[in-house]
Amino acid sequence: EDQKKLAEEMRRKAEQGSMQLQGEIQELLLEDLLRNAFPVDIVAPVGKGVRGADCILTVRTPYGAEAGRIIFESKRTKDFGNDWIEKLKSDMRSQAADIAVIVTQAMPKDMERFGEKEGVYICNFNEVRSLVTVLRNAILKINDLKRSQENRGDKMTLLYDYLTSSEFGEQWKAIKEGFLAMRQSIITERAAMEKLWKAREKQLEKVLISAAHIKGS
């Protein structure tokens, strides 16, 4: 009985270690993805003292001036944590970031794909590049507005107004529709390939049966 408990405990710790390692790998992959996708910007890991958040993307204009910051938390667990959003929002404030993004394998129960929840954007790893492209463009747009003579408003207010505007909504809608179309295309291609594989399997069976008859004759 004791050996059984020990074996179970060892298995559990091994799984935890494996998931932790996978999470750390995803963090590094996220940083690499951001650096490659947005070479003008600066990607920096968040200090060890900050719980939750993993890295910050400092969005820069084509001239190298800082326009804003996006803070990221990367998660690779079986379930979405109910406390993740509030923790990252707290990190966003402490790190003076403008937008917070959770990149997660497990989505909230009320979300099938990427979107916004309680002021934080949530997506999986495959969606992060497209999502950040839109959010980054929003930051650059607000930066331009802020620098113009006719707009002297608070940056966060301007950003919020833009992120809730119909213009941003149309961009958001276009990305979602693009992902849905891509997903449907993958499903269609997979079905076609499975049909082809089944046909080839039947052909192979016929060849094997014929070969067996030849050998037996």
Q: Is 8 helix (H, G, I), strand (E, B) or coil?
A: helix
What's the rounded mean pLDDT across residues 90-95? 88
Strands (E), the chain: 42-45, 55-60, 66-75, 99-104, 115-117, 120-123
- Identify whether the C-beta of residue 174 lies closer than 8 Å to the C-beta of residue 133: no
pLDDT value for 100: 92
Residues 100, 104: Cα–Cα separation, whole Å: 13
215 CB contacts (<8 Å, ≥6 apart)? none
The letter for the amino acid at 214 is: I
Residue 6 above 80 pLDDT? no
The tens digit of pLDDT for each residue in 173-187 reads: 677 666 666 667 777
The letter for the amino acid at 25 is: I
What does residue 65 show for φ and ψ, rounded to 5 degrees? -85, 140
What's the rounded mean pLDDT across residues 139-167? 70
Closest CA to 99 of 48, 144, 162: 162
CA angle 188, 190, 192 (to 5 degrees): 70
Out of 83-97, 168-182, 186-200, which region has the weakest mean confidence (pLDDT)? 168-182
What's the rounded mean pLDDT across residues 1-26? 61
Closest CA to 120 of 161, 83, 175, 77: 83
The tens digit of pLDDT for each residue in 14-71 reads: 555 555 666 678 888 889 999 999 999 999 988 765 566 889 999 999 888 999 999 9
The tens digit of pLDDT for each residue in 93-146 reads: 888 888 999 999 889 888 877 888 888 899 888 888 988 998 898 888 888 877
Whole-number Cα distances in Å, 108 to 83, 111, 179: 11, 5, 18
Query: Distance between the two ends of the chain, CA-based, in angstroms?
Result: 60
**Two tokens at 118?**
């309680």
User: Quick one: DSSP state of residue 126?
Assistant: G
Residue 216 above 70 pLDDT? no
- Identify whether the C-beta of residue 102 lies closer than 8 Å to the C-beta of residue 120: yes
